[in-house]
Structure 1
Amino acid sequence: MTTPKIAIIGAGPLGLGFAKAIAAEPNAQKIFKAIDVYERRPQAGGLWNHTGDKSNVSFELTESKNNKNALKVIDNDPHLSPMYKHTETNIIKQMMRYKDYPLPENSNTFPIRTEVLNYLLDYQKEIPNFVNFKFNTKVSSLLKNNDNNKWELTTNQNTEPNLYDKVILAHGHFDTPFVPKAKGLLNWFKNDPTSVSHAKYYNDCSKYKDQKVLIVGNSASGIDISTQLITVSKQIVMSCVGKPMFEGVIENQTEQIDGIAKYDFENNRSVITNSGKVISNIDKILFCTGYLYEIPFLKSYTTGANPIITDGSNIHDLYKQLFYIPDTSLILAGLPKSIIPFPFAEAQGQYVARILSGRLSLPSTEEMLKDYQKEVAERGDGSGFHVMGNLKDAEYCNEMFDLIKGTENEGFVAKFWDDQMMDLRVKTGEMKRQRFFELIDYAHDLKSKGLPYSNLKQNFKF
């Protein structure tokens, strides 16, 4: 039996979960020639490594060649984290965790970013030391050599590529901002580039003092940032194209408008909505519209008849949202959205670990393609393909248990989503909704005192 060499790109929640599961395979040290984890930042934690002051970050907004619905965003900081100064999670600490490894008892119910980062740094120490972490190492090229059937991985630390049999992409999908294309937006940006931004570049509310702010998007970041801006802004206008993630929370605190059809900088810095409403005298525009999928270092399978990625709305040709069917030596971790990331990483990791060690085998290419086509028919071949709201992630995680049947006695086994865990997930949403009401009252209190937003300690009871 050959001893495969494994590369994991990314040491955030996904990469750590996969590394732990793979290292827990029976006789892992003998089975795997190497398990190398590449992380561009100086330590584990991925995007939870807040990069601090973002005032020196600049970005360009230009036409996109690949996506007719979006503008292309390029910034000057390859390590920039989308975390902002006063981030707290939308997930309670009882679920924002790995199996058998709870957050400290005194953590906030909805942990703040420093608590999550420290948790991840501690968890990394639990991973066996034969897993080799390579920090401050940015992958610049990943190319499949068909002559020797190896992946050639090049970084900023080596001129000659390292060779791997299997590669797991766990670099996340919060690097490339999605900015929806609309008439006049590029002109606005060219006239006043500092007035247009994205949630990725938001750090705190200081630059929005006494400003009329247009927030585009009403999901988690839009509601969260709007709450923080209450403390300093003159007015908040929120453009929404669907129901907010936490309905009935932010609507009374902002002027709600529908989707934007046109940005008109010359006409009193105004926007015109799809329904014809005009909003004028806008000082700042902040897009809270999410992110596109991008694999900038991947040099194989990106062109041809069936490219793995096209416009960034989703990743194509995947079995179980994990294995790239034309070449299953390429594995993509944690692509789905609206998930609980820690148990999700473990559920995927337990299956992948068994495939890599040879204890389980993948179905035939024909069977995998049939499964993928069925999933596309159900979810669509667009941005909705990876969305797993309404407990779809729990169903997916439990499906991973079906796939590892007969192997549970050895190796890592994730936590099964039983009725109690699913009930807790449902309650989490309502708890966060109530938390937002508390935060809004807190923000108004800070504003009355002339104080900017800061974290508020919380400890919810069940």
Structure 2
Amino acid sequence: MAKLNIGLVKSVAVIGGGPCGAATIKALLKEAAFSKIVGFERRAGTGGLWNYYDSNKGPEPTKVPSTDPHRLDSISPIRLASDKYVWPSAIYELMDTNVPYHIMEYSGFPFPKNSPLFPTKQQVLEYIQEYSKEVEPYIHFGTNVVSVKFRPDETHRWQVTYRKVCDATAGGLKESPDHPDQTEEFDAVLVASGHYELPYVPEKPGLADWALKFPGSVSHSKNYRHPRQFENLDGNLVVVGNSASGSDLAYQLASYLNRKVYKSARSKSMLPGGSSDYIITVPDIASFEPETKSIRFQDGTVVENVAHIIFATGFLRHYPFLDEINSSQTPIVTDGLRLHGLYKQCVSYNFPGLALIATPRYVLPTRLSETQAIWLAKIFQGQLELPSIEEMKQDELRTVELMGDSPKFHNLFYPDDVRYAKELNNQIYSTPDWDSKLAPVEWNERDMQYRASATAMKEAYIRYRELNNGERVTDVDALRQGVEFELEPVDEEVLKL
């Protein structure tokens, strides 16, 4: 059976200098086997999407529907001053994490003592920035990668072309003779730029006409910053989506504004969220009816006088610098709902030396990116052997059969996420020159119990804050003294892996 010919890798490009990019670079450095490691980050520093920026004081509209993963017109930076740009992200002002900090930690790098059980966005940013200091010299900041091309017949397999983020390049979006594009060659490319960039807004009957008739009345959770944006709206507010962001946004809006918020949910949420008597849960949307400014839902319910709709419907998989690959016979991105041609949702079996970091949903990206990077380093050094191309294809097909050819393909809920991480960890431990200095984060019993109990813990944490004037509790024992809830048992089978 055919094998993937990656060869011995000596030079690696890492696209993205956020939480996953920093972890990837640090893991490669610890391997001490690569002559060239270069990171590319379009922001001015580390932290990635955790860099919060309040880009608009009112509701910021979204182009709808948004179903094309190859569009570029909706992704652009905001110019703050001469040659200074920021990229707004999905982080909002009142965001806390959805999981306790214990299971977010990088290997050997704990959160500061007395951190809240569920840290704020600023505390997470500071933690990631502190962790990333060691790798900053290896990252080209203020640099936008514009293309990654596979060249198997040349000396080096990969050509990475990038440009400076400045006024002359319109924030890195256009070529400029004053700052010409540059190209470097690498043996391997690791994409660690995340998948929370391009909003996904599904097509719904009447939505396009609604957006034309009521411009600015439709937005996406990526553009949400604070309930204050919606204080002066005259009419009903509808949040579409029942996952983490949809539940959190509906709760924030209802609690802060003390007004009804309609939350459209297709299914029961698997993630934590606060509850409020002001939140009215309705089914999936059947149609928008702009002539009456109403929305009709699948059960026939109609909400009239709708002032604003927030789609908390996720993101499209979007990697514009991979356009050449995506226009080939074996694209990685097609409709943007799931990625194709990846073994273990990580290694490309069609393009040797290409891997995408932390693509699964509902995982702990900090932990997973470290584990995947160490695993890839062992593969690149010939210490771990990948299965045949046919076996890797079959592995992907089994996931399609189990999860569907849809966004759910990438879902890794507990305990599947722990099982996945332990499988890679055990392969790493099997290498002949295993060095404990490269140890990925291990899932111990406490961590698995916190992972299993994350939803119950976060819901208890929200209740605790409501009962104690916003106080942020710092440990599980104190939380259980203030709010009654049960910790879930661990999956014994996965614990023994």
RMSD: 2.6
Moved over 6 A (4+): 70-73
Matched residue, 2:184: 162
In structure 2, relative to structure 1, the CA distance for the partners of 1:177 and 1:9 (3 Å cut) is same
Query: Aligned AA for 2:77?
Result: D
| 8 A Cα contact 1:40 1:137, kept in partner | yes
| 8 A Cα contact 1:60 1:75, kept in partner | no
Question: Following the alignment from structure 1 to structure 2, what is the Cα–Cα distance between the partners of residues 416 and 312?
Answer: 32
Q: Which moved more, 1:167-176 or 1:133-142?
A: 133-142
**Deviation for aligned residue 1:353:** 1.5
Q: Note the alpha carbon deviations across 1:165-220, whole angstroms, 9 max, x for none.
A: 10000000000111121011111111222211111001111121154210111111
Matched residue, 1:364: 388
Matched residue, 1:426: 452
Matched residue, 2:176: none
Secondary structure of the corresponding residue to residue 11 of structure 1: coil
2:336 to 287, 312, 322: 312
In structure 2, relative to structure 1, the CA distance for the partners of 1:286 and 1:399 (3 Å cut) is same
Question: Following the alignment from structure 1 to structure 2, what is the Cα–Cα distance between the partners of residues 328 and 273?
Answer: 47
In structure 2, relative to structure 1, the CA distance for the partners of 1:3 and 1:180 (3 Å cut) is closer
| 8 A Cα contact 2:59 2:216, kept in partner | no
Question: Following the alignment from structure 2 to structure 1, what is the Cα–Cα distance between the partners of residues 24 and 381?
Answer: 13
Secondary structure of the corresponding residue to residue 261 of structure 1: strand
- In structure 1, the gaps of 5 or more residues are 446-454
- 2:203 counterpart of 1:181: yes
Q: Which moved more, 1:399-408 or 1:211-220?
A: 399-408
Matched residue, 1:450: none
| 8 A Cα contact 1:60 1:73, kept in partner | no
Query: Aligned AA for 2:94?
Result: H
| 8 A Cα contact 1:86 1:204, kept in partner | yes
Q: Note the alpha carbon deviations across 1:374-417, whole angstroms, 9 max, x for none.
A: 22222222111110113211110001023223233355111222
Question: Following the alignment from structure 2 to structure 1, what is the Cα–Cα distance between the partners of residues 142 and 360?
Answer: 27
In structure 2, relative to structure 1, the CA distance for the partners of 1:125 and 1:66 (3 Å cut) is closer
Question: Following the alignment from structure 2 to structure 1, what is the Cα–Cα distance between the partners of residues 319 and 41?
Answer: 15
Question: Following the alignment from structure 2 to structure 1, what is the Cα–Cα distance between the partners of residues 273 and 13?
Answer: 45
Question: Following the alignment from structure 1 to structure 2, what is the Cα–Cα distance between the partners of residues 38 and 56?
Answer: 32
Secondary structure of the corresponding residue to residue 421 of structure 2: helix
Question: Following the alignment from structure 2 to structure 1, what is the Cα–Cα distance between the partners of residues 232 and 30?
Answer: 54
- 2:54 counterpart of 1:52: yes
- In structure 2, the gaps of 5 or more residues are 1-6, 79-86, 165-179, 478-497
**Deviation for aligned residue 1:248:** 8.4
| 8 A Cα contact 1:71 1:178, kept in partner | no
The TM-score normalised by the length of structure 1 is 0.89
| 8 A Cα contact 2:8 2:381, kept in partner | no
* Structure 2 counterparts to residues 218-233 of structure 1, below 5 A: 218-229=242-253, 230-232=255-257
Question: Following the alignment from structure 1 to structure 2, what is the Cα–Cα distance between the partners of residues 196 and 206?
Answer: 16
Matched residue, 1:239: 264
Query: Aligned AA for 1:413?
Result: A
2:105 to 93, 97, 102: 97
In structure 2, relative to structure 1, the CA distance for the partners of 1:390 and 1:438 (3 Å cut) is same
In structure 2, relative to structure 1, the CA distance for the partners of 1:402 and 1:217 (3 Å cut) is same
Secondary structure of the corresponding residue to residue 111 of structure 1: coil
Q: Which moved more, 1:408-417 or 1:216-225?
A: 408-417
Query: Aligned AA for 2:53?
Result: T
Q: How many residues align?
A: 442
1:86 to 94, 102, 105: 94
Question: Following the alignment from structure 2 to structure 1, what is the Cα–Cα distance between the partners of residues 344 and 76?
Answer: 35
Q: Percent identity?
A: 31
In structure 2, relative to structure 1, the CA distance for the partners of 1:169 and 1:125 (3 Å cut) is same
Question: Following the alignment from structure 2 to structure 1, what is the Cα–Cα distance between the partners of residues 58 and 142?
Answer: 21
| 8 A Cα contact 2:75 2:198, kept in partner | no
